[in-house]
Amino acid sequence: MAPTYCCVPKSVARATVCALLSWFGREARDLPWRRTHDPYAIWVAEVMLQQTRVKTVVSYWQRWMQHLPDVTALAHARPEFLRKLWEGLGYYRRVELLQRAARIIVKQYHGRFPRQWDEILALPGVGRYTAGAISSIAYNLAVPAVDGNVSRVLRRWLGRPLGKQDALAWAVAERWVKLAARCPPVRLLRLSPSGQPADAPVCPPCSAFNQALMELGATVCLPFKPLCTVCPIQQHCAYARSPATCAGAPQRRPSSIKRRLVVWVVQRRGRYLVRQRSLQECNGGFWELPTFEIPEETSDALAPSTCKWFEPLKAKPLYQLTHHITRYRYHVQVYPAKLKGNWPAGRWLTTAQLAARPMTRLSRKVLDRLLTGRGPA
């Protein structure tokens, strides 16, 4: 049986692609990685953008490119330095895979980023979406790039149930990007240094198209409250015509999963007790204050007694905070403590040493609060 998208007239698909390209030329956000066609810079941006907001990524990307301007610099960088550059972005395995891929590029391609889609896909940490994004944005290849945002846009447009990225979304994206390849380049008006269209940078059509789909999903076709009235492709969109009955209606926001943590602050002669997480753990290679998960049902009075290595100096925590990691919502209690015996995982570091090391986001948050005096004592 032919896929549903084949029922869409070619003229409608072509008009939709043209409308999307025109909209992107007017509305594309001024992001620093849109000012380059360097595949390395685009690759770094795409990896940083996985599960991370654009406004967070901008400063990280700029700092990364300042310190590591090319593949060779990344391949030869110290892992500890890479983790420090990445500190706060989360999903830290991404940085390890970036360096593994960079070393392959240096060894197999003499430091030149590969140009073929299948060669890019073969790199560690690169999936079908990332390979498509790099291939189209850097090299203007007519290949699709379907992430969660793009899949949502296409399924709503077709009136199909929302779900994971699947064959339908990829098939539609492939058809549309091939139509886009026949269109002229797009001028990105918001990136014009003078404000004049003639000075705006030119974006090749396949690059512009895939970025336009991503941009639409990120800024207009939102997961929970889509802005259909300003959507450039609403004319033929099934969801825009009938949102109440369309299979692509917004889903409910998933509820968070509650968990509890105890963080111990142990000091000795101006040094703090910390440990480095093993490379096999989540956040491998990063440093943290002694942090332990406790059962959700544990009472506040019994929380300090859950770890045999530490004895609290106060009956009540220094302060409590909430920490979010993806769907998890952690209730965190921070206790001043003394060490009982010899904690085998521990190291004593000064504040200057801690500042120079990559730390987990929670431990950095706790230390910053302690050292700056913010929050209840």
Active-site residue set: 46
Quote the tokens at residue 289.
């204050």
| DSSP conformation class of 189 | G
Calculate ∠ Cα 188-9-131, nearest 5°: 50
Q: Which residues pair with 333 in a beta bridge?
A: 262, 320
Q: Is 14 left (phi over 0), alpha (psi -120 to 50) or beta?
A: alpha
Residues 6+ apart with CB under 8 A from 298: 260, 306
- DSSP for 262-312 reads EEEE-EETTEEEEEEPPTTSTTTT-EES-EEEE-TT--TTTGGGG-TTEEE
Quote the tokens at residue 342.
């010899």
Q: Are strands 271-276 and 287-288 parallel, antiparallel or unpaired?
A: antiparallel
SS3 for 337?
strand
| Cα–Cα distance, 271 to 324 (Å, whole number) | 28
Q: Which residues pair with 375 in a beta bridge?
A: none
Residue 145: C-alpha distances to residues 56, 294, 325 (Å): 22, 41, 26
Which parts of the chain fold into alpha helices (H)? 10-27, 39-49, 54-67, 71-76, 79-86, 93-109, 117-121, 128-139, 148-158, 167-180, 205-219, 238-241, 351-356, 361-372
Contact 163/247 with Cβ under 8 angstroms?
no
